[in-house]
Amino acid sequence: MRGFALHPEAYDDIDEIRAYIAEDSPDTADRMVNEVFERIRLLTQFPNQGFRRPNFTSLPLRFVTVREYLIASVPEKSPLWVVAVLHGRRSPRVIAAILRGREQPQLPQVPGQVEKFGLTP
C-alpha cells in the first residue's frame, strides 16, 4: 500500500466535519470520520477511482464520495495527496474557490495529525 498524506486544510476539513456532526452525535461523528479515512485508504490501492470535475478545477484532481461529502485527491502523487474533504451540496463556485486556494504545493501532513483521530495512515 502506498499510503496517503493530507493537505493541512484537508485535515482541518475533517476536523470541522467531525465537530459539526458531534454537536448532535459524537458517535455518528466518529463513524463519519472513520468512513472518510477508510475511503481514503481504498483510494491508495486504486487512486484513479472517482471522477474529474472540470467545473471545479483544472487541477488533476479526482473526486469520490462518502455519504454527502467529496474527497478531492491527486492520484498521481505518492503518497496519495488528499487536497480537500468538502460537503457535496456546497455551491460549485464555493468548491472551486476553496480548491483554488489549495493549488500551491504543501508539505505532507505533520506526523500525528491522523493519529489525533485515533487512526493510522
Q: Map out the domains of the chain with their CATH numbers.
A: 4-106 (3.30.2310.20)
The total of other beta-carbon atoms located within 10 Å of residue 37's CB is 23
Distance CA 49, CA 33 (A): 20
Q: What is the pLDDT of residues 48-73, one digit of tens each?
A: 999 998 888 888 899 999 999 999 99
Q: What is the pLDDT of residues 81-110, one digit of tens each?
A: 999 999 999 998 899 999 988 865 554 544
pTM higher than 0.85, yes or no?
A: no
Q: Which three cell numbers stand for residue 42?
A: 481504498
